[in-house]
A and B are shown apart, each in its own frame.
Chain A
Amino acid sequence: MLTKRILILLPIIIFMILLQSFFWVPTYDEQVRGNPHRLEEFITASIGDAKILNPILNADSASSAIVEPVFDGLIDRDENLRFRGRLAESWTIYEEAYIYVNPQATMNGKTITLPTAVRELILNEKKKMKDPGSPLVDTLNNIKGIEIIPSHKGEKEITIPGPDKNKDGFPDPQKINVRFNAPPRLKITLNNVDQDFFQNIERILGKGYFDTFPSEDFIEILTEGQEETLSTVAPLVIPVTEHNPVIIFNLRKGVKFHDGHEFDAGDVQFTYEAIMNPKNLSPRVPDYEPIKKLEVLDNHTVKIVYKRLYQPAFGTWGMGILPEHLLNSEALRIEAEQKGEAPDEFSMRNVDFNRRPVGTGPFVFREWKSDQYIVMDRNEDYWEGAPNYKSYTYRVVPDLLTQEMEFYGGAIDNYGVQPHQVARLKKDSRYQNFSGLSFGYTYVGYNMRRELFKDKRVRKALGMAIDTDKIIRYVMFGQAERITGPFVKQTDYYDKSIQPLPFDPEGALKLLNEAGWKRNADGWLEKDGKRFAFTLMTNGGNDIRKSVLAIAQDSWKKIGIDVKTNIVEWTVFIGKHVNKGNFDALILGWSMGIDPDLYQIWHSSQTNENQLNFVGFHNEKADDLIIKIRQEYDYEKQVAYCNQLHRIIADEQPYTFLYVGKWTAVLDKKIVIKEYAESGEERIRKITPTKTGSYTFYFNKWIKLAQDPVFEME
């Protein structure tokens, strides 16, 4: 019966056709089936899609992951986390220090008002100084030259914090117009940046040289009704001393953008201007705000002068450099016209470039299909040599389970392993795995403004009562490490000799007894008739923090502390509790960069509402060190300061530092590093992580082989 036969056979045939495709499809072991190019392609996955592929505008991790291979910065960090040059071949850092000539200064009873006189004084001292060992020798030897800037007049507008506060609690800026009559100034060029320069020079110029400088004499307030601001405004307009660190970058020649246009200093200048352009709303502005002036000295040299000492500024030049010829105002205007939009409102945030970026990096952008994938091709003309992989695909796979399954099937080359899976996947011989420590840590923070937590011994005891190793073992499945201070553990800034708090409830009780807390009849700790009780908070949506919360509460209950817990939704947590200092103790985490500048988190000036030192940590020595660190351009000195700061913080225990998470990634075993020896011969070696745990450092040298590799005995 024809109908019957069709009804039955048709679907079966269709199904058979579909089923037999099974034999044509590449599997994990046979990834090359029908597709030899698979070996030259690297496929990775991410949970979220990228948003904007512009290095000065992006703010999420997916966009950053794409921006990195497409763009180059002037510098980046090498395998030891030290700076190395990329688009900049070399650089020099020196300083221009400014001193206003103080008309009221006296030296040996005589007043020296002439700038020339002051200059002579300093230069003579320099010539005289013979004996090394005196601190002044280094300072004076550091001086390269002194110039005199004659006095001049002018008008200027300056912004200061005003008396009113805006809705976030920060003071509204207020603009004041001034007329100034600046006295002569000395510009002293130093070979190296020296943050102690002025203290040392004062020894020659006479004590009090800087303190007695009358800035107010040289200023006149023009804005009506604002005369009382004179004392605040004057030192800002006429600062007696000023550090101006200078960085000169010598740029690499012969580097081309992906469209063939040659890279030069103008692109660096353009990138800076684009960041500072308010129309672009770049989130990077605070990093570049300290720049006073960026000059193009010639096609391949850039000079950047900073307003004040700020060492982290150097690291900001890892920023991807934008092609000026594609994004300048002319290009923007043309694009606005093409799209029929108003040119005034058309900024860099609206351009197509953000979806089709062009940079100088090792990979050239090819295509972006929203929520599906982004593909990049190898840059054959890359200045460092083309990478081995021909193409780099970034897949958007929102579900971790799906990523895992695709990894097993050979459709994704790597996979970030979750803590509970680490044991199973590490043992699996089909994959190679790498682990390292994250950049960040989890902690318990105590509100030091509250009576309970003011005593150092109490904070230390609270920390000793928690069995952090147990947390690491059970909550993190062993995928974390103890941490003792606020620096990244892999760097030199972190003092590895500092031991973590031992788990010692008895010792904790002893400390608490010393601080006046004794057990009462019910078993709770009591002092002056009051029970030791407080509330521990954390944010919702994080199972790990919830577990830590439960463990902490339980541990403290065992030594007689009555702790209530509270889990609050993230925005409410931050808005109503953290930002307002409205909490007893909380569990939170920081994720950070390598840079050791801790000003925002630990300086005592940052303890107001909406600022990051919400525990209220206030320690003068620490404040001092923090400022020194962010102004120190010498690596060794900076490391020394950091270690000292680490020691102080570990001793004070404003946080109980809990742990830093470990990440593990599995990679297809067939991916290896392919290098060429001088003889031109090809050599394959295993991918090994760098000292800091990063395994993707030599990514440009990776390639996939068709079968499992066999390595020569080394």
Chain B
Amino acid sequence: MFSFTIRSFFQKLVTLFFISVISFLMIYLAPGKPSQIDPLNPKFTPEDLIKFQKEFNLDKPLHVQYYLYYKNLLTGQSKSWKDNQPVLGKIFERFMNSLWLFIVGTLITWCLSFPVGMNSAIKRGSFFDRSSTFLAYVLISIPGFFFAYILIIFVVQTFNIPVIGMRTFGMTQADYIYQIMDKAWHLVLPSILGALGGIAFLSRYVRAQMLEVIHQDYIRTARSKGLSADIVYYKHGLRNALLPFVTMFGLILPGLIGGSVIIESIFAWPGMGRMFFEAIMARDYPIVLTLNFVGAVLVLIGTFISDILYMVVDPRIRL
């Protein structure tokens, strides 16, 4: 176990290094300049442009910029180009916002997918199976923005209630309980969207996996022994089907960053996905690079966790 950890750690460091180089190159070699040094921007004089270039280190050769950028990142000094605020601070703030959505969405998704998928597998071909399969497909196929807008129009027109953002405005002096409830309400629509999509997707996998497991001999034996269906499937069957989900579980971590740019844009949720999109459009390089980097780190941590969990869950596996 220990040697595996060390080996894995070093391998991941190397991967991280490559990722940092690749993402750096992608951004810096791209056409289009940050708006502050865009010569077509009428608001800044040529002296301003030169000043910004110097400030952003854009006049130095590439490898120097690479070094400087990562030095800034690791010492926490990196500043966004748009409003000169520290990058890590901005990212952390948005991270906390995304976190709520992520937690609620993930909880609901992972909890509900299993019963739904398993029931589908157990009662294969039944009405439940066919309708939940169909529904799952519809939910996977519907464009996220379309679904979001339909929900929004319905709720807004029927109830005249605010749904956008993290909280209703103007509530800063309300009683605490009302503020909490308000934040809870604003979580509802976006997390429904995320959860429904997630359940649709995940329950298909659960069903597929369970189908494989159910036809094994030991299940038939257990059933014929007289054990209740629930115990057989949930205790014995699920455990054996768990393997691929364990891997998947580790990989949901980067979903924090991915969030969904589209959902966050529609609901004006100040999360990391939207920040990434806006930073790219404005060519705010420090933010884009940092987010890429953080994303990569999360993925690598996620894979690491998956590998460990994998070994824990299945004693047959030796990595």
Answer whether A and B touch in the complex at a CB cut-off of 8 Å: yes
Check if A711 is an interface residue, CB within 8 A of chain B. Answer: no
Within B172-217, which residues are at the interface with A (CB < 8 Å)?
A: 172-175, 177-178, 181-182, 184-185, 187-188, 191, 195
Q: CB-CB < 8 A to A35: which residues of B?
A: 170-171, 173-175, 178
A134 touches B (CB below 8 Å): no
Cβ contact of B178, chosen from A1, A33, A412, cutoff 8 A: A33
Report yes or no: B115 in contact with A34, Cβ–Cβ below 8 A.
Answer: no
Whether the Cβ atoms of B169 and A1 lie closer than 8 Å is no
Question: Which B residues touch A18, using CB under 8 A?
Answer: 104, 184-185, 187-188, 191
Residues of A12-37 at the interface with B, using a CB-CB cut-off of 8 Å, are 14-15, 17-19, 21-22, 24-29, 31, 33-35, 37
Nearest CB of B to A25, in Å: 5
Cα–Cα distance between A113 and B40 once the two chains are bound (Å): 58
Whole-angstrom CA separation of A41 from B45 in the bound complex: 39
Q: What is the 8 Å Cβ interface bit string for chain B, positions 148-163, against chain A (1 contact, 0 not)?
A: 0000100011011111
Name the B residues within 8 Å of A1 (CB-CB).
228, 230-231, 234-235
User: Which of A10, A34, A409 is close to B161, meaning CB atoms less than 8 Å apart?
Assistant: A409
Interface residues in B113-134 (C-beta closer than 8 Å to A): 114-115
Q: Do the beta carbons of B164 and A21 come within 8 Å of each other?
A: no
CB distance from A666 to the nearest CB of B (A): 14
Judge if B168 is at the interface, Cβ distance under 8 Å: yes
Task: Establish whether residues A8 and B182, one from each chain, have CB atoms under 8 Å apart when the complex forms.
Answer: no
Most chain A CB within 10 A, of B90, B157, B230, is at B230
CB contacts (< 8 Å) of A397 on chain B: these are 164, 268
Contact A43 B187 (CB under 8 A): no
Cβ contact within 8 Å between B107 and A409: no
Q: How far, in angstroms, from A680 to B231 measured CA to CA in the complex?
A: 78
Cβ-defined contact, B108 with A14, below 8 A? yes
Name the A residues within 8 Å of B231 (CB-CB): 1
Inter-chain CA distance A38–B178, complex, in Å, is 13
| A409 pairs with B187, CB closer than 8 A | no
Q: Is the CB of B107 within 8 A of A10?
A: yes
The count of A-to-B residue pairs whose CB atoms sit within 8 angstroms is: 143
Q: How far is the CB of A283 from chain B (nearest CB, A)?
A: 8
| Interchain CB contact under 8 A, A411 and B169 | yes
A25: which B residues are within 8 A, CB to CB? 161-162, 168, 181-182, 185
Given known pairs A11-B107, A18-B185, A399-B268, the reply for A411 and B40 (CB within 8 Å) is no
Are A281 and B45 in contact, with the CB atoms below 8 A? yes
With contacts A3-B234, A3-B238, A409-B161 known, is A10 near B185, CB below 8 A? Answer: no
**How extensive is the interface on chain A, given as a class?**
35 or more
B174 and A405 contact, CB distance less than 8 A: no
B107 touches A37 (CB 8 A): no
| Chain B proximity of A662: nearest CB distance (Å) | 27
C-alpha spacing A211/B140, complex, angstroms: 87
CA–CA, A27 and B160, complex, Å: 6
* A408 and B160 within 8 A (CB): yes
Cα–Cα distance between A399 and B266 once the two chains are bound (Å): 9
Is A395 at the interface (CB under 8 A from chain B)? yes
User: Nearest residue in B to A411 (C-beta to C-beta)?
Assistant: B162
* Distance of B72 from chain A, by nearest CB (Å): 15
Of A122-130, A369-377, A522-530, the one touching chain B: A369-377
Contact with B along A391-412 (1 / 0, CB 8 A): 0010101110010011011111
- Chain A residues near B161 (CB, 8 Å)? 22, 25-28, 409
Q: Does B85 contact A (CB under 8 A)?
A: yes
Q: Contact at B169–A43, with CB atoms within 8 Å?
A: yes
Chain A nearest Cβ from B134, distance in angstroms:
21
A320-365 residues with Cβ-Cβ distance < 8 A to B are none
On chain A, the residues within 8 Å of B268 by CB distance are 397-399, 402
B112 within 8 A of A: yes
Q: Flag if A34 contacts B175 (CB, 8 Å).
A: yes
A345's closest neighbor in chain B, by CB? B51
Residues B170 and A411 in contact, CB atoms below 8 Å apart: yes
Kindly state whether residue A59 has any CB partner on chain B within 8 Å: yes
Contacts of A713 in B (CB 8 A): none
Instruction: Give every chain A residue within 8 A of B182 (Cβ-Cβ).
Output: 21, 24-26
Closest Cβ neighbor of B265 among chain A residues: A399
Check if B115 sits within 8 Å of A409, measured CB to CB.
Answer: no
Contact between chains at A28 and B111 (CB < 8 Å): no
CA A41 to CA B168, docked complex, whole Å: 13
B85 touches A370 (CB 8 A): yes
In chain A, positions 410-454 with a C-beta closer than 8 Å to chain B are 410-412
Q: Within 8 Å CB of A398, what residues of B? A: 268
Is A411 a contact of B270 with CB atoms below 8 Å?
no
Any A CB within 8 A of the CB of B316: no
Any chain A CB within 8 A of the CB of B318?
no
On whether the beta carbons of A24 and B160 are closer than 8 Å, the reply is: no
B48 within 8 A of A: yes
Chain A residue nearest to B46 in the complex (CB): A167
**Given A8-B112, A21-B181, A27-B159, A43 contacting B107 (CB threshold 8 A):** no
A409 to B48, CA, bound (A): 43
State whether B111 touches A412 (Cβ < 8 A): no
Cβ contact of A373, chosen from B169, B195, B228, B238, cutoff 8 A: B169
Given contacts A11-B108, A38-B174, 17 further A-B pairs with CB under 8 A are A1-B228, A4-B115, A10-B107, A14-B104, A18-B188, A21-B184, A24-B178, A25-B161, A27-B162, A28-B160, A34-B177, A35-B174, A37-B174, A371-B270, A397-B164, A409-B164, A571-B40
Which 4 pairs between the two chains have the least Cβ-Cβ distance?
A34-B178, A409-B162, A1-B230, A24-B181
Q: List 9 A-B contacts (CB under 8 A).
A: A1-B234, A1-B235, A11-B195, A18-B184, A27-B162, A34-B174, A370-B90, A409-B161, A411-B164
Binding site for B on A (CB under 8 A): 1, 3-4, 6-8, 10-11, 14-15, 17-19, 21-22, 24-29, 31, 33-35, 37-38, 41, 43, 59, 281, 370-373, 393, 395, 397-399, 402, 405-406, 408-412, 571
